[in-house]
Amino acid sequence: MQTEATLAQSDVSELDLVKRCQSGDTEAFDELVTRYRTRVFGMIYNMVHSEQDAWDLAQDSFLKAWKSIGRFRGQSSFYTWIYRIVMNVTIDWLRKKKIKGGDAEFDDSIQLREIDPASKTVPKTEALPHQAMERDEIRARIEKAIGQLSPEHRAVILMKEIDDMQYHEIAEALGCSIGTVMSRLFYARKKLQSLLRDVYENV
Amino acid sequence: MKTFEEKWTAWLDDQLSGRELSEFEASLPDKAAAHVEKAEAKKLGELLKRELSAHPLKNEEFFSHQLRERIVQESGEQRRERAPRSPTSSWWTIPRLLWAGTTSLAVFLICTVFVMRQERPPEESQYLTQILNARVDPVVSPNGTVSIFEVKQDRVTVLWTEGLQTLPADYAAK
């Protein structure tokens, strides 16, 4: 599993940073945030499909990580550890949102409205307007399909396919068994294959 | 013992090898269809990776700045919560206790003297003496009665007269 850390950033090992954090060094924590903020935000965004919500949830996740950094024992990588917090925060949020009845995941208009035309997925220098539109539509289809999965299935497929995480890492992040991860992956793939077959066959 | 779903997932992700792989592939009823599905799963994975992996975090520095602010705020709140309460005030030192005691005693004595002076029974007024010594003339006022009600504590005297034809001259206050 790769981090976004550059070689220069990696000069200070993750474990050292964690130890400094545990003694209250906020600058060390800032360094860890800089290393992982983009990936954490990206993962949450793919789960909730809203930039504002993803921003808030990423903030909450890092804040929670700071508060509980003293309990990190270094048995797993910091990234796996923080992913567990991220997943707890995000899945809880999705469940509460669903209970409140505010789950608008299947609302086409909202899905399309939330897509940022200036997002990185559209290469501004190369794509023609019709190509950009096409990509927006593809992305909207994917987000809608993912929105039909349960939060747990979403988490599993995104961690596997986007972040290339191993089964045991996903299991650790979600607090479940490897078997459960594999089973969820099986059903998530089946569901997405049925919903997106025409997309991946024609792209 | 792995379930079919677990084996299938491991097979799709090329995690099966050796005997486990050959046994699983042998158990597939339609090997060609399974390979088609495996290829589809790979395509799905590539599609997801291509379309979803590059969602940028805009204003990264502001994100970190906001987080720092929240951490500082939270730490401040935690410190305030953990901070021991200020030790009990040492206002009641012995000299202050003595001073307070003396002052209280002085105030008590002053009040007592004042109250005792106030409560000293007033001397009977000249007016009341005249009333008490007065007589109602039965010739002038055969049915006349004079009653006196007096509450010395409140310094109140009520003179109640009935049936008087004339007011005795002695009643006039001098």
pLDDT tens track for B71-121? 998 878 777 777 665 555 566 688 888 899 999 999 999 999 888 887 655
Chain B: closest CA distance from residue A119 (Å):
7
Instruction: Return the structure tokens found at B131.
Output: 């009333």
A121 and B63 within 8 Å at the Cβ level: the answer is: no
CA distances from A111 to A10, A48, A114, A140, A201 (A): 38, 11, 5, 6, 22
User: What is the tally of structural domains in chain B?
Assistant: 2
**Residue B151 in 3-state DSSP?**
strand
Total H helices, total E strands in chain A: 9, 0
Lowest mean pLDDT among A107-111, B54-58, B84-88, B114-118: A107-111
Query: Residue type for A174, please?
Result: L
Residues in chain A: 203
Looking at per-residue pLDDT, the higher value among B164 and A147 belongs to A147
Topology agreement, domain A11-105 and domain A148-203 = no
Tell me if B34 is assigned to some domain. Answer: yes
**Residue B156 in 3-state DSSP?**
strand
Lowest mean pLDDT among A26-30, A74-78, A189-193: A74-78
Looking at per-residue pLDDT, the higher value among B133 and A121 belongs to B133
Q: How far apart are CA B53 and CA B46, in angstroms?
A: 10
A63 and B74 within 8 Å at the Cβ level: the answer is: yes
Residue B68 binned pLDDT confidence (cut-offs 50, 70, 90) = very high
**What CATH code would you report for A11-105?**
1.10.1740.10
Kindly state the DSSP code that residue A69 receives in the 8-state scheme: G
A179 and B2 within 8 Å at the Cβ level: the answer is: yes
Is the confidence at residue A58, as pLDDT, over 60? yes
In the block, which residue shows the tokens 């009333």? Answer: B131
Average pLDDT over residues A93-120: 54
The highest-confidence range among A35-39, A121-125, B119-123, B147-151, by mean pLDDT, is A35-39
Residue A98 binned pLDDT confidence (cut-offs 50, 70, 90) = confident
Tell me if B78 is assigned to some domain. Answer: no
Return the pLDDT at A74. Answer: 83
Chain B: closest CA distance from residue A97 (Å):
22
Is the confidence at residue B62, as pLDDT, over 80? yes
Return the pLDDT at B156. Answer: 80
Residue boundaries of the structural domains of chain A? 11-105, 148-203
Tell me if B112 is assigned to some domain. Answer: no
Provide CB contacts within 8 A for A95, sequence distance 6+. Answer: A151
Return the pLDDT at A91. Answer: 94
Chain A: closest CA distance from residue B51 (Å):
6
Is the confidence at residue B38, as pLDDT, over 90? yes
Return the pLDDT at A203. Answer: 72
CATH class of residue range A148-203:
mainly alpha
Q: How far apart are CA A64 and CA A45, in angstroms?
A: 18
Q: B37: nearest CA in chain A?
A: A193
Q: Are A46 and A151 in contact (CB under 8 A)?
A: no
Percent of chain A beyond pLDDT 70?
Answer: 79
* Contacts with A183 from chain B: Cβ below 8 Å: 3, 5-6, 9
Q: How far apart are CA A12 and CA A28, in angstroms?
A: 10
Tell me if B35 is assigned to some domain. Answer: yes
Residue B89, beta-bridge partner list: none
Q: Mutation target for A interface from B57, B66, B75, B77: give the one with most A CBs within 10 A.
A: B57
Tell me if B117 is assigned to some domain. Answer: no
The highest-confidence range among A166-180, A189-203, B89-103, by mean pLDDT, is A166-180
Chain A residues 20-39 with a CB less than 8 Å from chain B = 26, 29-30, 33-34, 37-38
Q: How many Cβ contacts (< 8 angstroms) between chains A and B?
A: 116
Domain limits for position B39 = 4-52
Whether residue A203 lies within 8 A of chain B, CB to CB, comes out as: yes
Per the prediction, chain A carries an average pLDDT of 82
Return the pLDDT at A164. Answer: 92
Is the confidence at residue A120, as pLDDT, over 70? no
Its pTM stands at: 0.64
Return the pLDDT at B2. Answer: 83
Return the pLDDT at A46. Answer: 93
Average pLDDT over residues A117-140: 64
The backbone torsions φ and ψ at residue A40, rounded to the nearest 5 degrees and listed phi first, read: -65, -45
* Contacts with A46 from chain B: Cβ below 8 Å: 52, 55
Q: How far apart are CA A120 and CA B55, in angstroms?
A: 6
Quote ipTM for the complex.
Answer: 0.75
Residue A75 binned pLDDT confidence (cut-offs 50, 70, 90) = confident
Residue B71 is nearest to which of A63, A185, A199, comparing CB atoms? A63
User: Assign residue B73 a region: left if phi > 0, alpha if psi is -120 to 50, beta otherwise?
Assistant: alpha
Tell me if B33 is assigned to some domain. Answer: yes
Tell me if B84 is assigned to some domain. Answer: no
B63 and A26 within 8 Å at the Cβ level: the answer is: no
